[in-house]
Structures are given as C-alpha cells and as structure tokens.
Amino acid sequence: MPYEPPTHTVERSLRATTGAKVIAGVDEVGRGAWAGPVTVCAAVTGLRRPPEGLTDSKLIAVKRRTQLAEELRKWVTAYALGHASPEEIDDLGMTAALRLAAVRALEALPVRPDAVILDGKHDYLGTPWRVRTVIKGDQSCVAVAAASVIAKVQRDKMMAELGIDHADFAFAANAGYPSPVHKAALEERGPTPYHRLSWAYLDALPQWRHLKKARSWAEGNVPEIEGQLGFDF
C-alpha cells in the first residue's frame, strides 16, 4: 500500500513563524513494551530530499528498515539517541521517563535545537523546549520519520542483545512487546531484569505478583501510559 512521502512543511512553517534555524524531529519507540527501555531519537535533517521510502518505521519491512536506518545515519545533519531504563520507567512513570529519554537525546546533539517537532498530540517535553506536536508526524514530517526509523532499529538491536541470555522470551522477535511466546515465558519463568515491574501484566501472574513494584509516582493523578496492554491468557 503506497503512502504519501513525508515533507518539510512543518519545518518550513516553524522557520517562517519562529525564526528557528535548527529544528529536530523527535520520536520514541518502546512505550508499550513490557520489557526494555523506552528509546527516543532526535534527528536534524535540514531541508534536503530524504532517502527513498522514508515513512513511519512501523510501516517499513524489517529488512528495508534496517537498510534505511543505515542510510539515514549518513544522510541526516545530526542525530542522537536517549534511553530511559525499565527502572526509571517504574520509578518515574512513562510520561516522565519519555521526557528524560528525549532530553538525553536532544542534549546529545552537537547543536541545541531552536525548535522540536514532536510526534503525537501530547507535549511530554515542555519548557524550556519550543515544541510543535504533530499527530502522525512520523508519516508526515521528514525529521520525525527519520527519528522514528533510527530509534526503532536501534532499540530492536538492543533488545536482541538483551535477549541472548533469555532465549525463551524471544526478545529478538518481539522487542519486549507481549507476543504469545513472551507471555508464555513470563508465566513460566517470571520477569527478567529487563522487565517493567510496575505494569499491570503482573496482576495476572499470581506466582510472580509479589515482584510488582508500587508506583511511587502515582500520587493523585496517574500519568497516562499509552499502549500499555493487559495480560489475557
């Protein structure tokens, strides 16, 4: 199914309305996983034409996505990655963990961006960053799409490496998301050191429920965790 290629429309608008010169596209991967970090990429692309086939990483076949990520690393003006660990997700909640990972990525860029294009409708960055949120920005904005592909390929590689000593969980195939193999391994063996222990899936595992961490960040309003899936055996 063909997709409309991403453009520099939002970036051009930011340049015209705010005077921003360095604009970073930011996207995350791993928000809905049960194991592993949440990973954020910040990419600066300028206004050059991107490599062929660039779009949301989830819409690209694995082999092509891996090839495209390598092309993008050479093509972008700059990029950087930031991660928040499972422990940080448990301690802070997903919203704060996303911000932590995004700030780490943005601050690792060689030049501080004047503005940020953030995928989605929620600004989890906030001040002092100048943010433009764009729903489905990973499909419509070149810099965000580039960040999406680089982040996805990097995190998938990390999860495959983490899964070497936990073969039953098939992290190389599911990247820490709740596949049937992952669920079966959890039920039999319990969580690995890479699992998020404050998440609801442990409620359905009586033999491992004692490992669940209390949400210390849940005071009053619980931060929204988009994409957190239930455990339905």
Query: Binding-site residues for a divalent metal cation, please?
Result: 27-28, 119
Per-residue model confidence as pLDDT tens digits over 112-157 = 999 999 999 999 999 999 999 999 999 999 999 999 999 999 999 9
Per-residue model confidence as pLDDT tens digits over 11-56 = 999 999 999 999 999 999 999 999 999 999 999 998 989 999 899 8
Query: Binding-site residues, please?
Result: 27-28, 119
Listed in sequence order, the DSSP H helices in the chain are 9-18, 62-75, 86-92, 94-108, 137-140, 142-162, 171-174, 180-189
Check whether 160 has a pLDDT greater than 80: yes
Per-residue model confidence as pLDDT tens digits over 180-230 = 999 999 999 999 999 999 999 999 999 999 999 987 655 444 444 333 333
Give this prediction's pTM: 0.90
User: CB-based contacts of 221: which residues, under 8 Å, 6+ apart?
Assistant: none
Q: b/e for 147-163, b at 16 or more Cβ within 10 A?
A: bbbbbbbbbbebbeebb
pLDDT on residue 214: 84
